[in-house]
C-alpha cells in the first residue's frame, strides 16, 4: 500500500506512482484539493479528504490501522511532514542517511523544514543500527517518546 499526504492536494495525476498498479494508493488531503485533481485521480487512488485546513495525522494513522490494517508505515515525505509527525510524537523510528554531499545557503532545507523555529521540545533517540556502504552511512534510531500515546 502506498500513501500520499498533502494538505493542499496539489498532486499531478501523471506522476509515475500512478502508472503502477502493484499496490493500492491512498491519498489523505483536504477539501482544498482542486476538483479537477480529484477527478483526475478517480480510479487511480482512494481519496480521504478532510474539511479542515490540515490533515489530522493521528486520525490518519488510526484510519490506516483500523480500516486498512496497517501496522508499519515508512514515511518518505519531506521535512514538513517529518516535522509535523515528530511534533505530534507519531514517529517511532528514524532512518537517516549521511552522504558525502553538503547543501548550503540560507534557504537550504533542514531535517525539520525551512522554518527558523526550533522544535517545541528536544527529541531523544537511541541508535539501534549503523551500516556503512561505500561513502554513505545508514543510521537507524529508535525515538524515545516523552509521553505515552493512547
Q: What is the DSSP string of 72-101?
A: -------HHHHHHHHHTT--SEEEEEE-S-
Q: Are both 139 and 96 inside the same structural domain?
A: yes
| Enclosing domain of residue 33 | 1-73
β-strand pairing of 93-98 with 46-50: unpaired
Q: Are both 96 and 140 inside the same structural domain?
A: yes
Residue 30: count of CB within 10 angstroms of its CB: 17
| Structural domain ending residue among the three candidates 45, 73, 101 | 73
Q: Say which CATH number the domain at 128 has.
A: 3.40.430.10
Give the pLDDT score at 102: 78
Q: How many domains does the chain have?
A: 2
Q: Are both 96 and 133 inside the same structural domain?
A: yes
- Give residue-wise pLDDT tens across range 108-128: 666 666 566 667 778 889 999
Instruction: Please return the burial class of 126, using the count of CB atoms within 10 Å of its CB with bins 0-12, 13-18 and 19+.
Output: exposed
- Give residue-wise pLDDT tens across range 8-53: 999 999 999 999 888 999 999 999 999 999 999 999 999 999 999 9
Q: Are both 80 and 69 inside the same structural domain?
A: no
Residue 58: closest CA among 36, 20, 89 = 89
- pLDDT level of residue 140 (50, 70, 90 thresholds): very high
Q: Are both 38 and 55 inside the same structural domain?
A: yes
| Structural domain ending residue among the three candidates 29, 58, 73 | 73
Q: Are both 39 and 84 inside the same structural domain?
A: no
Q: Report the percent of the chain where pLDDT is more than 70.
A: 88
Amino acid at each position: 500500500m502506498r500513501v500520499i499526504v498533502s494538505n493542499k492536494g496539489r498532486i499531478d495525476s501523471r506522476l509515475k506512482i500512478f502508472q503502477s498498479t502493484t499496490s493500492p494508493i491512498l491519498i489523505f488531503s483536504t477539501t482544498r484539493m482542486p476538483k479537477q485533481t480529484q477527478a483526475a485521480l478517480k480510479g487511480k487512488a482512494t481519496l480521504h479528504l478532510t474539511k479542515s485546513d490540515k490533515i489530522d495525522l493521528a486520525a490518519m494513522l488510526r484510519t490506516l490501522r483500523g480500516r486498512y490494517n496497517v501496522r508499519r508505515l515508512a514515511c518518505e515525505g519531506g521535512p514538513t511532514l517529518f516535522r509535523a509527525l515528530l511534533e505530534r510524537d507519531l514517529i517511532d523510528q528514524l532512518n537517516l542517511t549521511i552522504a558525502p554531499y553538503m547543501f548550503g545557503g540560507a534557504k537550504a532545507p533542514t531535517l525539520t523544514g525551512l522554518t527558523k523555529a526550533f522544535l517545541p521540545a528536544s527529541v531523544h533517540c537511541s541508535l539501534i543500527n549503523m551500516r556503512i556502504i561505500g561513502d554513505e552511512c545508514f543510521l537507524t534510531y529508535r525515538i524515545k517518546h516523552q509521553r505515552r500515546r493512547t
